[in-house]
Amino acid sequence: MAELNAAQRVHVRAVLGRVDALLRDAEALLATPQAGSAFSRHAPDATPVLRKLVADRAATIRARMSAALVAFDALPAPPATGATSAARVTMLFAQTALADLAPARMRGYGAVDESVARELNGVCSELFGELQLLEGQLARSQRRGGECASGAGRGLLEALRRAIANHDLAEARAPLQIVAEKMDSDMLEVGIFGRSGAGKSSLLNFLTQSDALPAHATPTTAVPVRIIHGPRPWGHARFADALAESFPLGRLAEFASQRYNSDNTRHAVELEIELPADILKPGTALWDTPGLGSLAPGCTEAALACLVRCDIGILAVDAAGAVSQDELSLLHALQLAGASVLVVLTRADLLDADERQRKLEYVARELRSSGAEDFEIDPVSVRRDSVLCSQWLERSLQPLLREHVALRRKSLARKLEGLRDAVYTALEGRIAALSAPADVSSERSPAWAERLSAAAAELDTVARFGRAQDPTGKLERLLSDVAHNAVVLWRHGEPADTDASCLVAAALKGVCGAAASDATCGLNALRAGLAAALAEAARACRIACLSGELPAIGIAPALAWHARRIPLRRPRLALWPRLARRSVRGQLELSGIPEAIRDALRDYQREHEIWRQQELANLRAAFSALRAEILVRGGSSAQAGLHRAALRADLADIERLGALNAGPAPRPGEPGAQPARSPADAREGVTP
């Protein structure tokens, strides 16, 4: 059969597309009318049987049209925009249309009475709020992430995900998760970084026009805090070994400050607070990070973990100190993470005009000497000269925030490119290792087998002789904490008759949470040792990827404490802490609380030991299976050849999708015309 030419194929596609659109219109006319709509154009006289008949016939017609499109080679291009994105745009148009209902837009039709104008304004506000809420829900569920016309960005991410899973690139899993989360989110993440005591929290308090964050002359922030928009000031905390909490912002220091949570002893995984601040409304999230150079060992790692999530990084340099290597390294890390960088000189009010200018020149010179590009450095101060902060906000930060969508897309593209280059380099390294001549004596060496045997023996020893920590030994300390907290509450104005059930529950959660954390850490250390033994054996046997991995350690059981009212009466000598605590201990003894607590702790210990033994059994089963797999597959040259082929296929896939993700290149001679960088060029530092 003769083929259709290009123009004829376009005509066939257009005609069948028009028929498909008319079928959609017919189905929409017969569909159940929208609930509560006052603008239906047709009476709903179609029966359910008729609607089903039309839907079935339409499906048959569409199937035949699809077959015709395939036969004539006239298939249309796949859709480039998701339905969620289109629905969100429709909601934005609805908000624009609703603006015409305002009384000011109705003056051309005659004067509007003042009372009617108030009612119209009320209707507009209510409807506009509902439309904004619906548009926000669509935005949260929309997968935006720098959409390409070809969808190559998401295709590249899936190719990277497959390569990381297939070849066990453990070092790339965390960056992959971060890029995937950012691709599914429409939030612009802005982080403030710098040395301890540089005034980061104070600057954030200025930006949000609040005093929500703990700020002091000495270093205060111990845990990163994410700030988002919300209707009221409120906080949320998630913990590694305890239930999540929601709290008023007055309690934020308990979780975020060095004074109350030094080195994150409460194991907070995430702190997020809501503020009704204007700067947060367009979908912006601000991060307050621990300072670099703090004596607390975990602060630097926590700050760097936030760094890779940020689209804008603000580097705070203290005007009272010199530029340190920590700040230069942080600037370099922000650029590698794909973030746009702003540099501010904090506490600039400590310097007069001449000193301030010399300081700005010194900081710029130090940054250039480290190989960084030229940055415009802005002086800021939140105390005596807050005008500096206002000028910086208007001149430097607000223009970036107004470019919310474009800036987030650029940041995501840079992060995706960095992940692509890292995975590409790792895969090339695997190919080189598999292509190297095999050392038979090394492959047959029993060292890896001995390591596996030692790991299995350690697992057996822990399962047979290890026991969960006995929390009943902490009873005296627990009662002392309850007494102390009750006295503190009375000194801060708590009523004389107090219910101590919340205090007891909090103390119990702390004791059991610590026991669960210790057990979880021990099991994770054991799992890491087993995984290291398996990895060493796999490398010795030239096995690039095992069929599975050891299971993650599950969450320890929570304490089942059935709270009951525990009345406490404030003693007359409440201002004398020692005597007051002794009185509270006596009241607790008389109420029989210690025995109830001891019974609850014993029950928890039994549940905890059952959980621990189950986790060990899961580890033993998985370790035995993977050990047997290594013994079977070890030394197989054919297997090595298959892995080389799989690695090369993934490399080709990543390079192809990476080129597509760069987008259509401008024609030669147009502004911005540059050849796309390949992963190999990026690795070797080749600049187009």
User: Using CB atoms within 10 A of its CB, is residue 674 exposed (0-12), middle (13-18) or buried (19+)?
Assistant: exposed
Which two tokens mark 126? 């209510």
Question: Helix, strand, or coil here: 331?
Answer: helix
Please, are residues 86 and 144 in contact by the beta-carbon 8 Å criterion? no
Give mean pLDDT, residues 649-672: 58
Does residue 314 carry a pLDDT above 90?
yes
H-helix or E-strand spanning residue 314: strand 312-318
Q: What is the pLDDT of residue 19?
A: 92
Q: What is the pLDDT of residue 371?
A: 73
Q: What is the pLDDT of residue 342?
A: 92
Q: What is the side-by-side strand order in the sheet with 234-239?
A: 245-247, 234-239, 268-275, 225-229, 284-288, 188-194, 312-318, 340-346, 377-379
Which two tokens mark 163? 């390569």
Sign of CA dihedral 467, 473, 475, 478: negative
Q: Which residues of 4-36 are buried (b: 16+ CB within 10 A; e: fewer)?
A: eeeeebeebbeebeeebeebeeeeeebeeeeee
pLDDT in tens, 423-438: 888 888 777 766 654 4
Q: What is the pLDDT of residue 192?
A: 92
Residue 676's pLDDT band, with cuts at 50, 70 and 90, is very low
Question: Helix, strand, or coil here: 497?
Answer: strand
Architecture of the structural domain at 186-402: 3-Layer(aba) Sandwich (3.40)
Q: What is the DSSP letter of 43?
A: -
Please, are residues 549 and 531 in contact by the beta-carbon 8 Å criterion? yes
Among 300, 297, 295, smallest CA distance to 327 is for: 300
Mean pLDDT, all residues of the chain = 76
Give mean pLDDT, residues 368-384: 80
Does residue 617 carry a pLDDT above 80?
yes
d(CA 85, CA 142): 6
Beta pairing, strands 284-288 & 225-229: antiparallel
Q: What is the pLDDT of residue 337?
A: 82
pLDDT in tens, 558-613: 776 766 677 777 776 555 667 777 777 777 777 777 777 777 777 777 888 888 88
Does residue 339 carry a pLDDT above 70?
yes
The strand ranges marked E within 525-640 are 567-569
Q: What is the DSSP letter of 382?
A: S
Which residue would you say has higher pLDDT here, 590 or 336? 336
Which residue would you say has higher pLDDT here, 314 or 369? 314
Does residue 247 carry a pLDDT above 60?
yes
Among 167, 149, 160, smallest CA distance to 78 is for: 149
Lowest pLDDT segment from 343-352, 454-463, 643-652: 643-652
> What are the C-alpha distances in Å from 192 to residues 185, 326, 614?
20, 14, 43
pLDDT in tens, 20-40: 999 988 888 887 655 557 777
The four Cα atoms 661, 667, 670, 674 give a dihedral, to 10 degrees, of 50
Q: Where are the domains of the chain?
A: 1-76, 186-402, 444-635
Residue 190's pLDDT band, with cuts at 50, 70 and 90, is very high
Which residue would you say has higher pLDDT here, 517 or 646? 517
Determine how many CB atoms are found less than 10 A away from the CB of residue 439: 11
Residue 682's pLDDT band, with cuts at 50, 70 and 90, is very low
Among 600, 327, 330, smallest CA distance to 478 is for: 600
Q: What is the pLDDT of residue 668?
A: 35
Among 265, 224, 214, 220, smallest CA distance to 242 is for: 265
The pTM of the full predicted model, rounded to 2 decimals, is: 0.50
pLDDT in tens, 74-126: 888 656 456 776 787 788 788 888 888 888 888 788 888 888 888 888 888 78
